Amino acid sequence: MASAPGPQPPRKGNLWRTVKAVAWSFLGVRKGAEWQEDGVQITPLQVIAVGLVAIFLFVLGLMALVQWLV
């Protein structure tokens, strides 16, 4: 009889690791081993939060670029 899985250890991803993972996702490239490591250490909430901030900064950067060109 299989025993129930025990509690999983807490994820210990830090802000810099999450920022790197989101930045590589924007570019669409990532090493397989690092991608799997990120999946273990970074929570989905961290990825969503950093992703939203990155999108906001990207849009602000585009708006600034357009304003500067025009």
Give 42's DSSP letter: S
41 contact partners, CB below 8 Å, separation of at least 6:
11, 12, 13, 17
Distances (CA, A) of 42 to 17, 28, 29, 55: 8, 18, 18, 19
Q: Report pLDDT for 55.
A: 95
Angle of CA points 43, 45, 35, to nearest 5°: 40
Residue 31, H or E segment: none
The predicted-structure confidence for 7-65, as pLDDT tens digits, reads as follows 666 666 688 888 888 888 888 877 778 778 877 888 889 999 999 999 999 999 999 99
Confidence label for 3 from pLDDT (cuts 50, 70 and 90): low
Q: Report pLDDT for 39.
A: 79
Enter the pTM of the model: 0.71
